[in-house]
Structure 1
Amino acid sequence: MMRLSFAVSLLLLLILSGCAVNPVTGKNEFAFVGESTEISTGAENYGPSRQMQGGDYTAHPQVNQYVRQVGQRLAAVSDRQLPYEFTVVNDSTPNAWALPGGKIAINRGLLMELNNEAELAAVLGHEIVHAAARHGAKGMERGMLLQGAVLAATMASQNSEYSALATSGAGIAAQLVNQKYGRDAERESDYYGMQYMSRAGYDPAAAIGLQQTFVRLSQGRESNWLTGLFASHPPSQERVDANRQTAATLPAGGELGTERYRQSLAPLLADREAYQAYDEGRNALQQGDTDLALALADKALRLQPGEPLFHSLRGDIRFKQQRYDDAVINYDRAIARDSQYFHYYLQRGLAKKQLGDTSQAKVDLEKSNAFLPNAPAQEALGQFALDQGDTLRAKQLFASAAQSNSAVGQQARQAYIRLDMVENPHKYLPVSLALDRGGYVVILVQNNSGLSVTNIVTTLQFLDNSGRLRRVSVNVPGVLRQDEQRQVVTGVGPIATNSAKKALAAQVVQARTND
């Protein structure tokens, strides 16, 4: 009871010490995540977030420069000064997102759907508010509070240490990008984003039309919108009406910047057909139609040879066809145009692995993993380490790759278990004990490894007739298939007294996978 009271008091102290004024809304609220943590979290995860979303758009650098100029114009009038950054992500899905600390991205696909600079300002202003009003930081705090509740329960029950925040690889980046904001956060971002538009000289009414367009598109249920912007920023007529009310309170007029937007985006907009061919080619490759995919990749390249994604698609097709030399040539061309995207190095490394070029494959795979920790690179590097006899390094790489739910993540998990089974068979083969009708000990072995296992040996601890503690080895015959349970008669017994029953214990001490 005293431990529970201490835990509750600790949580109350954290809550009382975490009060602060929101820099945008002026409201008092809890703020357990400090500004330095916001900024460092955003900075650390900005690169991995962009990598997993498609990498930076590089075909026309002037497009990025234009978006940065619009973003900084809005950031200059925001209620909170942060190290704001604005980047165009090279993906066709219409989307935009903000990380804590002011790291903001907008997808190429959304830029191609907007009509003017004021609509771009509406999108970027909305994302600026998410960062300035600490919406991402609040998501982090909700996780901390949840873990705080676990901490209280843990302290109350066993007073054990508890790690409040634990991340690995790019997991936190995925959570930050994909987090869904509540209705209050969306309303705040709409309202204050329009305030920023007006302060920066844009026509805030553009936010009304933009939201109306979003509502119409959401009703059409276009899949690329549903998986993009609408997944994290769901539109509604309520938001349209709220934007209209906000606009009525702001000075009328302001810039739309229609012609400036068209001129600045002209190089990107001119490539619309090329990106459509690329998207269709990528889909054809996923469906296994390499001939159609290749024709579409070649079409995209004819229209825009400077886009590295198009060269990479051609490389992926050749890889699928097991033409690894040709694949490497295409990945070389992609990297020559953009040397900062993990996928190109990953695929070139895997192609070189197939060609037996181990040293260069490792260089590419390590570089890919540095840009974005990813299961395919880690699994392949784990195989290289295993081939070199570095079991410890192989296990580390396989364990990291196994965190992925992908097929290659499952392969890595199995590879890890094969190695770990030698040292820790009990982790995968739990045992339970029972007594038969005659009071003799029966061992039940369960295979939870996901693999077939053989050469299983258990130790059985028991009290002999003289009361001495003894241990014997018990073999489990044959092969134990995955998810199979095996009953083994030990011949130890009869066990009659409570003290003898309490002394019983068993554990698998030896096993190997059957492959």
Structure 2
Amino acid sequence: MHRMIVSCAVLLALTACSVNPVTGKRELTLVGEATEIQMGEQNYLPMRQSQGGEYDIDPLLSDYVQGVGQRLAAVSDRELPYEFVVLNNSVPNAWALPGGKIAINRGLLTELGSESELAAVLGHEIVHAAARHSARQMEQGMLLQGLVLATAVATSDSDYGNMAVGGAGVAAQLLSSRYGRSAELESDYYGMQYMARAGYNPEGAVSLQQTFVRLSEGRRTDWLSGLFASHPPSQERVDANLKTAAALPAGGESGEERYRRAMAKTMAAIPAYEAYEEGRKALADNNTALALQKAEAAIQQLPDEAHFYALRGDARLLDKKYDMAITNYDSAIRRRSEFFYYYLQRGRAYERTGNDVAAESDLEKSLTLLPTAPAHLTLGQIAARRGDRSRAIEHYRVVAQGEGEVAQQAQSDLVRLDVGENPGNYVQKRCDPGSDGNLVVSVRNATQLPLRNIAILVTYNDGSLQRQMERRVSGTLAAGAVASVATGLGPYAAGSACPVVISNAQVAE
């Protein structure tokens, strides 16, 4: 404790010391509560969008989960603007953002057996928020990556569930990383305290962890990529929960029948979502016929689910049946009007038909919900076609910072559009003395495209006069390749200022 107080004093200029409202321990904090709450609020919408959107097929279930969460939040150790949402995602998972923004996936709800087990999950996540576990993860991410959460932008070109977004791009990575052993034990312990205070049977947390340990031994991939990635189960946690439960008052509500009633509609929909997931897997394998078959089966069972129509639209888009794709995205949007993916895909379909006006409208709408690489790339291409060079470059640069096929396409498009105006952004230079002591300039093609007509402009002193001399790199310089140009000017001392600018370059196509 003494060392912690000393550390707080030493770092006071950069950070602040505070007492953790859950544990009572003094700890260093990088941001105040207002900033912490703001971090959660800024990332809550993009995080929800990136992970399937809200599960709105059964509004009563969402109300039920919100009620259980608020019942626990009312007895927690920290007042925060708690919110609880059910996400339309089959992967078993739950997470908490700073400031009390908490989500649980449909795929985890279908694995629970009682309201007390639900309370155990939500109580655990409440502690992660209240004890600042999730905030500390985000703080570390901000320091390590040099990012403010609200400024990162999507660069993934994979399925929407994996698209990094805004602040959620950083947040999603951090929330899928493992909480430390102490944070998990702490959240289990205090979460059970909240359960008991709220009138729930804390044995629900014991049975929940026992189930998690059993499932982890089975190594189901959906669990390994979901909850277990960030909340690793262990026998140690089971034993700790048994000990905690023994010290708490016996009894309390289990709510098994109440939970069954609340989950009835969602449990009945499991086969429809299973068909949907099989359809998405078929689509990833370019098997559009099977994807369409699975989409039809899902729609027959649950015609109100918009995701199923989007799957059918994706299959039509892959088959280049753009008008049919648009019709299906229309159906999805009529059923769920505020989900980014439907607008993104309809915009891409419109662009393929040559309707840039409709495409741009849909793609811009998608960006307001979730910034993604495909939307920025397509908007850049549309802007380039109409001659809006600055707007195109703006979109391309956002995407070009990332990885994957979409990022590579953006990088290539950016080079083609901008290398003539700003060759120095794409060709690197280095100055060294040659064996004769004169200046030798090395140039490197920093793009993924071959370049030609690369020219350098050397500024040098000729007596009392300052002169310039241009030299050209002969032939084509391949992507990543380096060429040397002997200028004959000197003597040049190593480490001196490099008196060279890249004055010209063109894509060799």
TM over 0.5: yes
The 8 Å contact of residues 444 and 487 in structure 1, kept in 2 or not, is answered as yes
For 1:185-241, what per-residue CA distance to the aligned partner results, in whole angstroms no more than 9, with x for missing partners?
Answer: 111110111111111111100111110111111111111100000001011100000
Is 2:507 the partner of 1:513?
yes
- Cα gap change, 1:503/1:119 in structure 2, threshold over 3 Å: closer, same or farther? closer
Q: Quick one: which amino acid aligns to residue 182 of structure 2?
A: D
Contact 2:96/2:125 (<8 A) preserved? yes
- Report the Cα offset of residue 514 of structure 1: 2.2
For residue 416 of structure 1, report the CA deviation from its aligned partner.
2.1
Q: Which residues in structure 2 correspond to 1:474-513 (within 5 Å)?
A: 474-490=471-487, 492-493=488-489, 495-496=490-491, 502=496, 505-513=499-507
Native 8 Å contact 2:306 2:335 kept in 1: yes
| 1:105 lines up with 2:100 in the alignment | no
Distance 1:489 1:129, change over 3 A: same
Question: How far apart are 1:452 and its partner, in Å?
Answer: 1.0
Quote how far apart the aligned CAs of 1:446 are: 1.3
Alignment correspondent of 1:13: 12
Change (3 A) 1:196 1:477: same
Conserved in 1, the CA contact under 8 Å of 2:152 and 2:170?
Answer: no
Question: SS in structure 1 opposite 2:368?
Answer: helix
Mapping of residues 28-39 of structure 1, within 5 Å:
28-39=26-37
Residue in 1 aligned with 2:415? 417
Deviation of the 1:14 alpha carbon? 2.7
Residue 312 of structure 1: CA displacement? 0.7
> Partner letter of residue 12 of structure 2?
L
Write the deviation string for residues 339-395 of structure 1: whole angstroms up to 9, x where unpaired. Answer: 111000100110011111111111110011110011111111111111222111111
After superposition, the Cα gap between the structure-2 partners of 1:163 and 1:307, relative to the gap in structure 1 and judged at 3 Å, is closer
Matches within 5 A, 1:199-214: 199-214=197-212
Partner-residue secondary structure (3-state), 1:49: helix
Query: Match of 2:261?
Result: 263
Give SS of 1:78's match. coil
Structure 2: gaps spanning 5 or more residues? 1-6, 154-164
Q: More displaced, 359-368 or 416-425?
A: 416-425
CA distance in 2: counterparts of 1:9 and 1:252, whole angstroms: 41
The C-alpha deviation readout for 1:117-172, integer Å capped at 9, x for no partner, is 1111110111111111111222234356669xxxxxxxxxxxxxx99888333343
TM-score in terms of structure 1 length: 0.90
Kindly tell me the number of residue pairs found equivalent between the two proteins: 489
Question: Aligned with 1:225: secondary structure?
Answer: helix
Asked if 2 retains the 8 angstrom alpha-carbon contact of 1:25 and 1:133, the reply is yes
1:123 maps to a residue whose letter is V
Q: Check if 1:175 corresponds to 2:170.
A: yes
Report how far residue 463 of structure 1 moved. 3.8
How much does 1:405 deviate?
A: 2.0
SS in 2 for 1:386: helix
SS of residue in 2 equivalent to 1:423: coil
| Farther off after superposition, 399-408 or 68-77 | 399-408
1:302 partner SS: helix
How far, CA to CA, are the matches of 1:116 and 1:72 in structure 2? 17
| Corresponding residue number in structure 2 for 1:157 | none
Residue 374 of structure 1 is matched in structure 2 by: 372
Stretches of 4+ moved more than 4 A in 1?
Answer: 8-11, 143-147, 162-166, 434-441, 496-499, 501-504
Question: SS of the counterpart of 2:96?
Answer: strand
The answer (yes or no) to whether the contact 1:461–1:504 under 8 Å persists in 2 is no
CA contact (8 A) 2:8 2:17 kept: no
Secondary structure of the equivalent of 2:251? coil
Shift of 1:9: 12
Distance 1:455 1:129, change over 3 A: same
Secondary structure in structure 2 of the residue aligned to 1:104 = strand
**Deviating more after overlay: 319-328 vs 431-440:** 431-440
Within the candidate set 389, 404, 407, 2:405 is matched to: 407
Select the residue among 460, 469, 472 that pairs with 1:472: 469
Matches within 5 A, 1:286-301: 286-301=284-299
Q: Deviations over 1:46-86 (max 9, x none)?
A: 00001111111121211111111111111111111111111
Q: CA deviation at 1:469?
A: 3.6
Kindly indicate whether the alpha-carbon contact (under 8 Å) linking 2:430 and 2:498 is maintained by their aligned counterparts in 1: no
Contact 1:463 1:503 survives alignment (8 Å): no
Q: Are residues 295 and 196 of structure 1, via their aligned partners in 2, closer, same or farther at CA, if it must alter by over 3 Å?
A: same
- Cα distance in 2, alignment partners of residues 9 and 457 from structure 1: 56
SS for the counterpart of 1:310 is helix
State the partner residue of 1:383: 381
Whole-angstrom distance in 2 between the partners of 1:503 and 1:30: 44
CA 290–38 in structure 1, closer or farther in 2 if over 3 Å, else same: same
User: Normalization by structure 2: what TM-score?
Assistant: 0.91
Residue 503 of structure 2 aligns to a residue in which SS? strand
**CA distance in structure 1 between the aligned counterparts of 2:373 and 2:282, rounded to whole angstroms:** 24
What is the SS of the residue equivalent to 1:449? Answer: coil
Q: Secondary structure at the match of 2:172?
A: helix
Moved more, 396-405 or 181-190: 396-405
C-alpha separation in 2, matches of 1:327 and 1:497: 63
Residues 424-433 or 166-175, more deviating: 166-175
Superposition deviation, residue 468 in structure 1: 4.2
Alpha-carbon distance change, 232 to 514 in structure 1, aligned in 2, over 3 angstroms:
same
Q: 2:242 aligns with which of 226, 241, 244?
A: 244
The structural deviation recorded for 1:18 is 0.9
TM-superposed CA distance for 1:333, in Å, is: 0.8
* Deviation of the 1:404 alpha carbon: 3.3
